[in-house]
Amino acid sequence: MNKVIDISQRLNEIREEDNRLYGVMHSKTYTAIQFTGDATNEDSTIHIEIYEGSSCNDIGLNICFGKESRMIMLTGKEAIKLAKDILSAT
């Protein structure tokens, strides 16, 4: 059992190191409810990555949901507000 935990922990460390190389400051998967018109609400998985920019004024936000992905740029203030909104909703 300890070997499984050790391997899992090492893979997580490698993933974090890789993320830092690509400028990923935060990477997490969330569960959300997707509203699809009159259809029944469905549980959905959303993956969010935040990339550091060259300054506080260009922080990249990549949101993946289903087969779609969107990348937007945020100012420092927008990124802080979004982070607070996400934390208060979870």
What is residue 83's predicted lDDT score, i.e. its pLDDT?
75
**For residue 65, which amino acid is it?**
F
Cβ–Cβ under 8 Å, residues 62 and 71: yes
Domain assignment present for 44: yes
Domain assignment present for 35: yes
Domain containing residue 71: 24-89
What is residue 19's predicted lDDT score, i.e. its pLDDT?
63
What is residue 22's predicted lDDT score, i.e. its pLDDT?
64
User: What are the distances in angstroms from CA 29 to CA 10, 55, 63?
Assistant: 20, 26, 10
Rounded to two decimals, the pTM is 0.52
How many independent structural domains does the chain possess?
1
What is residue 45's predicted lDDT score, i.e. its pLDDT?
79
Q: What is the mean pLDDT of each run of 10 residues along the chain (90 residues)?
A: 66 66 72 68 76 71 81 82 76
What is residue 36's predicted lDDT score, i.e. its pLDDT?
65
Domain assignment present for 14: no
